């Protein structure tokens, strides 16, 4: 009984409330939100939500190019056979391991080199703006062009990388035909590409730290390392956490660089999960298998993000 | 090491020189590959494969540029890219602005899960949505159409735009709408006449980022567009180079011509993306 009377009493009150409160209540009650959302939700339902569930459905079928539109053969549910095939294939674990290695190498280099450059830039330099502009260049160039231009530079005979190596007396490296060196090459390109993003993010974070903290620390005799450890890192954490999550997801899912430079070759030596599944889907037309593979990649990233955000609490919360 | 991490001066001359040397080295690494593209683009057709490391080749010529500008499908690629990117940016903006406003100002059923879902879309590997979309496009006969490609791009740009614009609308105090409300405006009117005009900078930058995402996209376009006449410039430029035969000269010229406007635009706007679009528009 008391539960029903309380809202009635609350309803009588608004007459005396100021305009701002009435406004808020109106906003809360009316249907405008749904009207504003409707067009976007319809499109998202078609281009994101439906394909999302369709991918899960597809993952449990044997769909491929030959049975998808054929009148006599229709795709069948195959009781998780795609997942069994993926998890029992030793190559999956090799590629998963390489993807983790690729992600760790890239993100560690992006953050450490980006932070190094940001620290160097975070001071009064006369031509700071010029340095900053030049250093951001790799991020500004379209990735397709970055990949193609580096592929040329890694050419064994005519590429500038080998020409420079030879001019300082080192032997030429067969970059794109040896699996190991091809992996080194794509890592170099992606590190080169990803430093500016981290540098800019970290520079923004550094500029928000008041110099007084450092002055106080110096008065207390703190060493440079102690200042870095106790002042810089804690203050950077709110910008670093989301940047590292984003950087990890982008690197893990980065298809452009590897696909355009090596296509995952030679001999699958630079294949990471996304390049492998892209080729399985669009070069080998294994739709059900690729959908299952995509779902696995998605779940790996989801688990990573949940753990990372829980472990570093404080930033990156969705509210 | 006094003041190493702060912006205070007080670096010794030796340290200042060291810092400049490190920065100059980093800048060289950042721009060297780009300068190489310039060098290769200036080489005459016969000496594209050259072991020369000098910046401006002795026999520099603009023939690669004239070949690109007058003999290839370059202008057609640009036109196609422009159609696709402008459509993507416009449609995303028209849909995302009201939705971002709703997420910012209202409490409605499914708001929290909706926001989380928008973020989760960032975790999808490219094939996760691309494969279902591709099959949908085949069934709807939209393969090899710009409409189909814009369709695919919406799946990336729309969640991103809603998220960014929601963040921007959050920074506008609700007092502005209250004032409009007191003046007799409807909530819809307040959105169109007060909030949207105030948000012009954020709206244009959001549109610009959708535009640039579509403009430089290769992986999806390669799947959706198979007809050479419909190629956007990333597809065209890659065919220019050829899969195995490396036609470096014309490719380099095309790459530079396309990159320059993109790079300039990006340089002018990147700080807005990074700062999460916190433009102090309300004060203005």
| Mean pLDDT in order along chain A per 10 residues (319 residues) | 42 60 67 87 94 94 83 82 93 95 96 94 84 90 91 86 88 89 95 92 87 89 89 88 88 93 88 94 92 95 88 53
Q: What token pair was written down for B188?
A: 């819809």
Structure tokens at B110: 């499914």
Q: Is the pLDDT of residue B198 over 80?
A: yes
Of B125, B191, B246, the CB nearest to A152: B246
Search chain A and give the residue with CA nearest B6.
A211
Q: Say which residue the tokens 């402008």 belong to.
A: B86
Of chain A, the percentage scoring pLDDT greater than 90 comes to: 45
Give the span between the Cα atoms of A253 and B225, in whole angstroms.
22
**CB within 8 Å: A249 and B122:** yes
pLDDT band at B46 (very low <50, low <70, confident <90, very high): low
> CA of A108: how far to CAs of A100, A194, A198, A244, B60, in Å?
12, 11, 11, 9, 41
Q: Which of B37, B101, B177 sits opposite A36 (nearest CB)?
A: B101
| B219·A227 Cβ contact <8 A | no
Residues of B in contact with A232 (CB under 8 A): 5
Spell out the alpha helix ranges (H) of chain B. 13-42, 63-71, 74-105, 111-120, 126-139, 146-170, 175-182, 187-190, 196-198, 200-215, 219-224, 233-241, 248-274
Contact predicate A159/A148, CB 8 Å: no
Nearest to B7 among A41, A123, A260 (CB): A123
Tell me whether residues B123 and A301 touch, CB distance under 8 A: yes
What is residue A171's DSSP assignment? P
* B74's tokens: 């370059």
Q: What is the pLDDT of residue A29?
A: 64
Please tell me the total number of residues recorded for chain B in this structure. 284
Preferred mutation among B1, B4, B36 to probe A, highest tally of A CBs within 10 A: B4
Determine, for residues B122 and A122 on separate chains, whether the beta-carbon distance falls below 8 Å.
no
Nearest to A37 among B99, B187, B255 (CB): B99
B26 CB neighbours in chain A (<8 A) are: 117, 131, 135
- Contact A137/B26, CB-based, under 8 Å? no
Say if residues B231 and B80 touch (Cβ distance below 8 Å): yes
Minimum CA–CA partner of A305 in chain B = B123
A135:B40 CB<8 A:
no
Domains of chain A in start order, with CATH, are 91-285 (1.10.3720.10)
pLDDT value of position B1: 42
Nearest residue, CB atoms, B274 vs list A19, A153, A200: A200
Q: Which residues of B touch A36 (CB under 8 A)?
A: 98-99, 101-102, 191
CB–CB of B178 and A19 under 8 A? Answer: yes
Distance CA A4, CA A81 (A): 55
Whether residue B5 and residue A294 make contact (CB cut-off 8 A), yes or no, is: no
pLDDT at B145: 95
Quick check: B6 and A214 CB within 8 A? yes
Per domain, the residue ranges of chain B are 13-61, 73-274
Which residue matches tokens 């990388």? A161
DSSP state, A170?
P
The reported pLDDT for the residue numbered A116 is: 94
- Alpha carbon B20 to its chain centroid, in Å, reads 31
Q: What number of other Cβ atoms are within 10 A of residue A86's Cβ? A: 18
Identity of the residue in B33, B133, B152 whose CB atom sits nearest the CB atom of A149: B33
Q: Which residues of chain B neighbour A207 with C-beta distances below 8 Å?
A: 7
Q: Which two tokens stand for residue A27?
A: 């906003």
Residue B14 pLDDT level (bands cut at 50, 70, 90): confident
Quote the percentage of chain B above a pLDDT of 90: 35
Which comes out higher in pLDDT, residue A194 or B180?
A194
pLDDT over 90 at B164, yes or no: no
Could you give the angle at the alpha carbon of A177 between the alpha carbons of A274 and B33, nearest 5°? 80
Residue with tokens 């003999």: B71
- Report the pLDDT value the prediction gives residue B91, as an integer from 0 to 100: 96
pLDDT digits 0-9 by tens, B243-258: 555 678 888 888 899 8
CB < 8 Å to A246, chain B: 122
Q: Looking at beta carbons, which residues of chain B come within 8 Å of A291?
A: 127, 131-132
What pLDDT sits at residue B21?
93
Q: Under CATH, to which class is B73-274 assigned?
A: mainly alpha
Of B26, B30, B131, the CB nearest to A294: B131
Confidence of residue B27 (pLDDT cuts 50, 70, 90): very high
Residue contacts between A and B (CB atoms, under 8 Å): 292
What is the rounded CA–CA span in Å between residue B233 and residue B34?
Answer: 19
- Residue B47 predicted with pLDDT over 80: no
* Burial class of residue B240 (count of CB atoms within 10 Å of its CB; 0-12, 13-18, 19+): buried
SS3 A258: helix
- Residue range B137-157, pLDDT digits in tens: 998 999 999 999 999 999 999
On chain A, the residues whose CB falls within 8 A of the CB of B126 are 253, 255, 274, 278
Q: Do A302 and B234 touch (CB under 8 A)?
A: no
Give the whole-angstrom CA distance, residue B8 versus residue A215: 9
Relative orientation angle of helices B74-105 and A32-44, to the nearest 10 degrees: 140
Task: Please tell me the predicted confidence (pLDDT) of residue A71.
Answer: 73
Structure tokens at A155: 């050419």
Q: Do A294 and B133 touch (CB under 8 A)?
A: no
- Which among B173, B105, B8 is positioned nearest to A125, based on CA atoms? B8
Q: Which residues contact A58 (CB under 8 A, 6 or more apart)?
A: A287, A288, A291, B131, B132, B135
Cα–Cα distance measured from residue A53 to residue B132, given in angstroms and rounded to the nearest whole number: 9
Q: In angstroms, what CA-CA distances link B184 with A34, A177, B169, B180, B190? A: 22, 71, 22, 7, 9
Contact A281/B131, CB-based, under 8 Å? yes
Is B255 close to A23, i.e. CB distance below 8 A? no
My answer on whether omega of the bond before A61 falls inside 30° of 0, hence cis, is: no
Beta carbons of A252 and A269 less than 8 angstroms apart? no
Pick from A155, A167, A273: which is nearest to B53 by CB? A167
Buried b (16+ CB within 10 A) or exposed e, B157-167: bbbbbbbbbbb
Higher pLDDT among residues A39 and B267, named by residue: A39
Number of H helices, E strands in chain A: 17, 0
The reported pLDDT for the residue numbered B4 is: 55
């Amino acid at each position: 009984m008391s539960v029903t009377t309380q809202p009635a009493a609350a309803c009588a009150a608004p007459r005396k409330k100021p305009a701002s409160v009435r406004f808020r209540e109106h906003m809360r009650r009316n249907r405008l939100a749904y009207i504003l959302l409707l067009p976007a939700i319809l499109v998202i339902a078609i281009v994101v939500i439906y394909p999302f569930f369709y991918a899960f459905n597809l993952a449990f079928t044997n769909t491929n190019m030959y049975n998808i539109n054929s009148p006599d053969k229709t795709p069948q549910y195959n009781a998780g056979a795609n997942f069994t095939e993926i998890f029992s294939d030793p190559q999956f674990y090799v590629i998963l391991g390489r993807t983790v290695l690729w992600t760790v190498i890239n993100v560690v280099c992006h953050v450490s080199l980006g932070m190094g450059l940001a620290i160097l830039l975070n001071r009064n330099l006369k031509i700071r703006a010029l340095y900053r502009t030049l250093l951001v260049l790799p991020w500004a160039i379209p990735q397709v062009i970055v990949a193609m231009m580096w592929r040329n530079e890694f050419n064994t005979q005519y590429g500038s990388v080998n020409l420079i190596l030879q001019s300082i007396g080192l032997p030429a490296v067969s970059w794109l035909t040896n699996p190991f060196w091809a992996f080194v090459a794509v890592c170099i390109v992606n590190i080169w590409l990803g430093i500016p993003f981290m540098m800019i993010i970290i520079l923004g974070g550094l500029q928000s730290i008041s110099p007084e903290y450092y002055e106080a620390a110096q008065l207390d005799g703190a060493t440079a390392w102690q200042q870095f450890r106790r002042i810089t890192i804690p203050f950077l954490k709110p910008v670093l956490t989301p940047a590292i999550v984003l950087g990890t997801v982008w690197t893990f899912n980065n298809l452009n660089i590897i696909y355009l430079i090596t296509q995952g070759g030679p001999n699958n030596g630079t294949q990471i999960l996304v390049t492998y599944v892209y080729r399985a889907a669009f070069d080998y037309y294994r739709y059900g298998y690729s959908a299952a593979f995509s779902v696995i990649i998605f779940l790996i990233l989801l688990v990573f993000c949940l753990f990372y955000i829980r472990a570093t609490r404080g930033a990156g919360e969705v509210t | 090491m006094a003041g190493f991490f702060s912006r205070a001066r007080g670096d010794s001359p030796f340290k200042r020189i060291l810092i400049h040397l490190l920065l100059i080295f980093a800048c060289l690494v950042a721009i060297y590959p780009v300068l190489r593209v310039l060098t290769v683009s200036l080489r005459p057709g016969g000496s594209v494969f050259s072991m020369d490391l000098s910046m401006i080749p002795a026999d520099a010529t603009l023939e690669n540029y004239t070949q690109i500008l007058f003999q290839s499908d370059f202008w057609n690629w640009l036109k196609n890219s422009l159609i696709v990117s402008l459509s993507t940016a416009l449609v995303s903006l028209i849909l995302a602005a009201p939705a971002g406003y709703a997420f910012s100002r209202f409490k409605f059923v499914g708001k929290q899960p909706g926001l989380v879902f928008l973020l989760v879309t960032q975790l999808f590997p490219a094939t996760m949505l691309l494969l279902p979309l591709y099959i949908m496009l085949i069934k709807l006969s939209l393969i090899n159409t710009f409409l189909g490609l814009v369709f695919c791009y919406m799946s990336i740009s729309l969640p991103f735009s809603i998220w960014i614009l929601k963040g921007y609308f959050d920074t506008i105090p609700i007092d502005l709408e209250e004032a409009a409300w007191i003046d007799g405006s409807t909530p819809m009117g307040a959105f169109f006449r007060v909030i949207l005009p105030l948000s012009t900078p954020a709206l244009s930058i959001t549109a610009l980022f959708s535009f640039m995402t579509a403009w430089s996209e290769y992986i999806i376009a390669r799947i959706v567009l198979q007809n050479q006449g419909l190629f956007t410039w990333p597809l065209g430029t890659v065919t220019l180079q050829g899969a195995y035969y490396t036609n470096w000269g014309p490719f380099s010229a095309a790459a530079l011509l396309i990159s320059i406007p993109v790079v300039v635009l990006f340089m002018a706007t990147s700080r807005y993306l990074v700062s999460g679009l916190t433009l102090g528009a309300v004060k203005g």
